[in-house]
Structures are given as C-alpha cells and as structure tokens.
Amino acid sequence: MPTRSNHKTTLNMKNKLIIAGLALTSSLTLSAQEITGTLHADQGTQKIHKEIYGQFAEHLGTCIYGGLWVGEDSPIPNTKGYRTDVFNALKELQIPVLRWPGGCFADEYHWMDGIGPKENRPKMQNNNWGGTIEDNSFGTHEFLNLCEMLGTEPYISGNVGSGTVEELAKWVEYMTSDGDTPMAKLRRQNGRDKAWKVKFLGVGNESWGCGGNMLPEYYADLYRRYSTYCRNYDGNQLYKIASGASDYDYNWTKVLMEKAGNLMNGISLHYYTVTGWTGSKGSALKFTDDDYYWTMGKCLELEDVIKKHAEIMDQYDPQKRVGLLVDEWGTWWDEEPGTIPGHLYQQNSMRDAFVAALTLNLFHRHCDRVKMANIAQVVNVLQSMILTDTKGTGHMVLTPTYHVFRMYKGFQEAIYLPLDLNVPTIDVRGDDHAKDGRKVPVVSASAAKKADGSIIMSLANVSLDKAQELSIALDGSNAKTVTGEILTCKKIGDYNDFEHPDVVKPEVFKGAKVKKNTLQVKIPAKSIVVLNIK
Ligand code: AHR
C-alpha cells in the first residue's frame, strides 16, 4: 500500500468514502469536506529536477511520422519538415528532455540507416510495432535538430540488444566529436559542421524483455562493456543510463547496482498504469467510476515501487549519486477501434489528466532520487500530449494530459516544499498486486518555491462528487495574493477530439484566497488546480 513522505494521510472514518462495490448516490455530490494543514514555505531543500517533465518519442505508430514529422514536401504546414502546430504546442511546454528512438525500437535501430541523403537510406520493418515499414527519413540529424529548435536536451537510447559495441561507440562519436575523427568527418559530409551536445545516453532499453531477454547478471556485464566505449568528446559529458527494471522487479535493480552501479549515472524504471499485459486493457473512454478509482490507486502505487527501488539503491549508493529515471510511465489502454494494431493510438480523457497530476506530484516527493521521468509518449502513442489526424485533414488536438503538463511547468527546477495535510482516503478496488484493494487520498497536493520566491501549489481533487475545502497555514511565508488555473470537466470521461478540441481546457480559477497567512481554497469535484501564491 502506498505510504507518503511529507504528506500525512489519515484515514478519517467520518469522511471515508467506500467506493469499491457501492454505487455512489447523488446526495453525496453537494457537500464539501474540509482539509486542514500546513505548508512549510521556508523548509525546502531539494530541487525538483526539470527532467521529471521529460517526454518520449519512439518510432511507433504515428508518433514520429505524422506526429512530429511530416517532411518538407507535405501539404501540412511544417517548419523544415516538423509539423508547425505540434512544434509550437511542444515549445510552449518547455520540454526539458526528449527520449528517442525507443523503446523497443531502439534495440533494432541501426543509426547509420538514418543518415545521409534520404533517397539512399534503407528501409526496415518495425518488428515491434505492427510490422510497419520504416523509411528512416527521420534519423539522427532530424532528431537532434528538433531538440535544438525546442531547446530540449536529447536523450539517445542506444542499441545493445542487436547492435555492436562499435556501432554505439561510433554513434556517440558521430554526434559529439568536434575533432578530426572519422565519424565527425562523416557528420560534416552530411551537412552538420558543429557537433551537437548530447548529455543523456541510454545503454539499451528493457534489456530484460524486448531489448534482448537478458538476465540481470548478463546485462550488467554488457552495460559495463558498452558504456566503456561511449566516450566524452570535446567537452561533451555523457550521463550514462543503465536499462533498469520493470515495475516490481527489485532483483534487477539489486544486481545492476551491485555489479555496475559505480559505472552509471542513472538507472531507469518503467511503470505503466495498466490492468495487465494479457487480454483487454480497457477502453480509454468507456469506463466506470469504479475503473476510474482503480486507475488512481494503480498510478499511485508507483510511489511504493519507487521507494522499494530507492531503498535498494541506497544500499549501494547512499549519497544518491545515481538517479532513478522513470523513463517510461503513463496509462496504457486498448488501442482505439479502427486504428492500426500495434500502433498504440489511444484517446486521452480527464482520467488521464488525473494520472498525470498525481504522478507528477509523487515524483516531486521523491526528487532526491527521481532525477528524470519521461511520459510515454509525446504524440499519438499511449498517454500523449497531442493527437494528430494523420488521415490528411491536418487537425491537431491538445489532450487533457497536455494541459496538466502546461499548468505544472512552473515546478521545473523549483525547490520542493513540505506540505502536511490531513487528507481522508478513499478505499478503491485492487488487483493482483493489491488483493485487498488500495487507499487513495482524496486530494493529491504538491508545493514548491520558484526562483522568484513565489510558491506554486498543485491540488487535485480526485473525488468524483465532493468538493473539497482546504485551509492551509502558510508557515514561513508572508504571501498575500493567489492566482490560479483549474482543469475540470462535466464527466470524468470528457476528452478533446478534432471536432471538439476544447471540451477539456484550463480556465482561470477564482476559488482561492490568502487571509491571515492562511490559504483557503475550495476545489470542485474532479478538478486539478494549480496556484501561484505570492
Ligand atoms: O512505450 C511503448 C513500449 O513500452 C516501449 O517501446 C517499451 O520500452 C515499453 O515496453
């Protein structure tokens, strides 16, 4: 069961809502619950690494082709081949880091196929994702130039599963060497004179699965070997990332830390909010209230998973030098009916927005160890920021998840502040990992101090039918004013589509005030609020 740090959750029997197995009556919808607590505005010590707001772009379905990239000859408005509308929307998010080219795709990707004149680039079959033919027109230059234009750090996911040590070593040289080296010369021939800066380098992806089905001991040795030959050229400093565990596989983390912890800067963790890996995962849009509450419980379980991996890491790295990087996370539902199997195209409702808000809040709480996270994926795949109509209409829509990322961007690099709230919990349905069910705090909250001294606070009211009134003492602050934004909906399944792009969109929030150094807020049911307190 998730336990929380710096966030006191109490089971208040009076306020406790029993969700599992009970139909909620409409009489519950009227009253508000009162939650009290204290923000310790002068007790922040840890920075919320901006990389927690990272994104992931894989050669999968229409994430790259039709999502980010349409090519310069496309009738869809583009800037040097990148979709202009998508580019502008992503620029607004201030994406700190973008992971590419996979995912599972990374361990079958041979980077030399994606450089040089496009007409000479060989095609390949994308065996992981529907057998689609990949023409390699989006390769290293197209990716790194996009990162430059977005002001984003690239995160290259290298091929260990089917690639050689030499191939990965040469890729690093190609991207980052400014000297008279063979790969730098080749890059110059291909039109790029100056080396790019590439900080983040993943040494394989899911090496326990699609990345080679390896055992942790074997992969640990391979990690040691491959990472040795990935050099720092001309002032470029690599941050080397080992392929880490899937959710509850604690032994993987243990073995990797023991055998290779001293040679890595980070180790990844993948955790999806998913019902299971076999059979239906449920529809993105058609779900019951009970399913919604299960989703909240399952996404919050990531906190427990992080704690357990972090405890293991603490044994080998008590200084917390090595980052735990949740470089794949988010919801995974059934593909939308009528879309191409294997392309993982799913709609995105207000339920997904809650998963984003709750998950970002829990990453903040663990910012001492969680130094990066990359939601899967940026466009048209799984819990995406943006959906594009790839059938030629040229439409684009921002998802509810996009709006959460936009509203939360002030948390990037802010100093995490302890916030004690006596939040009642809701008992929700469990699953194989939580046979007795789970408990979900009715409000998920997080606060941080920004560089300008103002406080950013997020408050997500998970309840489908009760407003929440909060009264929070602002210790260590003499704030006087509060402004905010709210993301809410009529129905929890509300979503945006090409015909109705603004069903779910943020509005100005006027339900908060600061009085006698206390923040008073009333948040409607199923709402996510972000406040700026000065
Ligand atoms: O994000 C989709 C896939 O999920 C990735 O390719 C893989 O790493 C994970 O299993």
Query: Is pLDDT of 274 > 50?
Result: yes
Query: Is pLDDT of 5 > 60?
Result: no
166 belongs to the catalytic site: no
Q: Name the nearest CA neighbour of 425 among 415, 438, 416.
A: 438
Selecting among 206, 301, 303, 335, the annotated active-site residue is 206
Q: What is the DSSP letter of 193?
A: -
Across residues 288-312, what is the average pLDDT? 98
Q: Whose CA is nearest to atom 3 of ligand 1?
A: 103
Query: Is pLDDT of 378 > 90?
Result: yes
Across residues 154-179, what is the average pLDDT? 98
Ligand 1 centre distance from Cα of residue 363 (Å): 20
Given the CA of residue 103, which atom of ligand 1 is nearest to it? 6
Across residues 401-414, what is the average pLDDT? 98
**Mutation choice for ligand 1 from 59, 155, 210, 332, CB with most ligand atoms inside 8 A:** 210
pLDDT digits (tens, 9 = 90+) for 311-342: 999 999 999 999 999 999 999 999 999 999 99
Given the CA of residue 382, which atom of ligand 1 is nearest to it? 1
Q: How confident is the model at residue 499 (pLDDT cuts 50, 70, 90)?
A: very high
d(CA 289, CA 295): 10
Helix/strand/coil (H/E/C) assignment for every residue in 348-364: CEHHHHHHHHHHHHHHH
Number of neighbours of residue 342 by Cβ within 10 angstroms: 16
Ligand 1 centre distance from Cα of residue 92 (Å): 26
Query: Is pLDDT of 394 > 90?
Result: no
d(CA 68, CA 87): 7
Query: Is pLDDT of 29 > 80?
Result: no
pLDDT, position 32: 65
What residue has token string 């640990």? Answer: 220
Ligand 1 centre distance from Cα of residue 71 (Å): 25
Query: Is pLDDT of 181 > 60?
Result: yes
Work out the burial of residue 297: count CB atoms within 10 Å of its CB; fewer than 13 is exposed, 13-18 middle, 19 or more buried. Answer: buried
d(CA 407, CA 449): 15
Query: Is pLDDT of 25 > 80?
Result: no
**Mutation choice for ligand 1 from 60, 63, 104, CB with most ligand atoms inside 8 A:** 104
Model pTM score: 0.94
Number of neighbours of residue 254 by Cβ within 10 angstroms: 18
Q: Whose CA is nearest to atom 4 of ligand 1?
A: 103
206 belongs to the catalytic site: yes
Ligand 1 centre distance from Cα of residue 327 (Å): 10
Given the CA of residue 246, which atom of ligand 1 is nearest to it? 10
Ligand 1 centre distance from Cα of residue 407 (Å): 26
pLDDT, position 391: 72
DSSP 3-state helix, strand, coil percentages of the chain (rounded to 5)? Answer: 25, 30, 45
Query: Is pLDDT of 377 > 60?
Result: yes
* CA-CA-CA-CA torsion sign (117, 123, 128, 132): positive
Ligand 1 centre distance from Cα of residue 104 (Å): 6
pLDDT, position 9: 28
What whole-number percentage of the chain has pLDDT above 90?
Answer: 93
Task: Give residue 107's Cα distance to chain centre.
Answer: 21
d(CA 353, CA 362): 14
d(CA 375, CA 90): 14
Given the CA of residue 104, which atom of ligand 1 is nearest to it? 6
Across residues 351-380, what is the average pLDDT? 98
pLDDT, position 33: 67
Q: Whose CA is nearest to atom 6 of ligand 1?
A: 103
Q: Whose CA is nearest to atom 5 of ligand 1?
A: 103
Q: How confident is the model at residue 30 (pLDDT cuts 50, 70, 90)?
A: very low
Q: How confident is the model at residue 31 (pLDDT cuts 50, 70, 90)?
A: low
Q: How confident is the model at residue 406 (pLDDT cuts 50, 70, 90)?
A: very high
**Mutation choice for ligand 1 from 206, 272, 281, 378, CB with most ligand atoms inside 8 A:** 206
Across residues 358-381, what is the average pLDDT? 98
Query: Is pLDDT of 22 > 80?
Result: no
Q: How confident is the model at residue 12 (pLDDT cuts 50, 70, 90)?
A: very low
**Mutation choice for ligand 1 from 270, 274, 344, CB with most ligand atoms inside 8 A:** 270
Selecting among 58, 134, 328, 335, the annotated active-site residue is 328
pLDDT, position 495: 98
What whole-number percentage of the chain has pLDDT above 70?
Answer: 93
* CA-CA-CA-CA torsion sign (408, 414, 416, 417): negative
Q: Whose CA is nearest to atom 9 of ligand 1?
A: 103
Helices and strands, number each (H, E), in the chain: 9, 28
Beta-carbon contacts of 348 under 8 Å, excluding residues fewer than 6 positions away, are 284, 383, 384, 387, 399, 400, 401, 495, 496
Ligand 1 centre distance from Cα of residue 210 (Å): 9
d(CA 360, CA 372): 11
Work out the burial of residue 384: count CB atoms within 10 Å of its CB; fewer than 13 is exposed, 13-18 middle, 19 or more buried. Answer: buried
Name every protein residue with a CB atom under 6 angstroms from any ligand 1 atom.
58, 102-104, 205-206, 328, 376-377, 382
Beta-carbon contacts of 534 under 8 Å, excluding residues fewer than 6 positions away, are 453, 454, 455, 479, 480, 481, 482
**Mutation choice for ligand 1 from 55, 58, 381, CB with most ligand atoms inside 8 A:** 58
* Structure-token pair, residue 454: 């103002």
Given the CA of residue 377, which atom of ligand 1 is nearest to it? 1
Ligand 1 centre distance from Cα of residue 56 (Å): 10
pLDDT digits (tens, 9 = 90+) for 60-117: 999 999 999 999 999 999 999 999 999 999 999 999 999 999 999 999 999 999 999 9
Work out the burial of residue 380: count CB atoms within 10 Å of its CB; fewer than 13 is exposed, 13-18 middle, 19 or more buried. Answer: buried
d(CA 191, CA 213): 38
- pLDDT mean across residues, the chain: 93
Ligand 1 centre distance from Cα of residue 129 (Å): 10
Given the CA of residue 376, which atom of ligand 1 is nearest to it? 1
Query: Is pLDDT of 24 > 70?
Result: no
Q: Whose CA is nearest to atom 2 of ligand 1?
A: 103
Number of neighbours of residue 341 by Cβ within 10 angstroms: 9
Phi, psi of 481 (to 5 degrees): -125, 155
Query: Is pLDDT of 410 > 50?
Result: yes
d(CA 329, CA 332): 9
Query: Is pLDDT of 397 > 70?
Result: yes
> Measured over all CA atoms, what is the biggest interatomic distance in the chain, rounded to whole angstroms?
75
pLDDT, position 34: 87
Across residues 245-272, what is the average pLDDT? 98
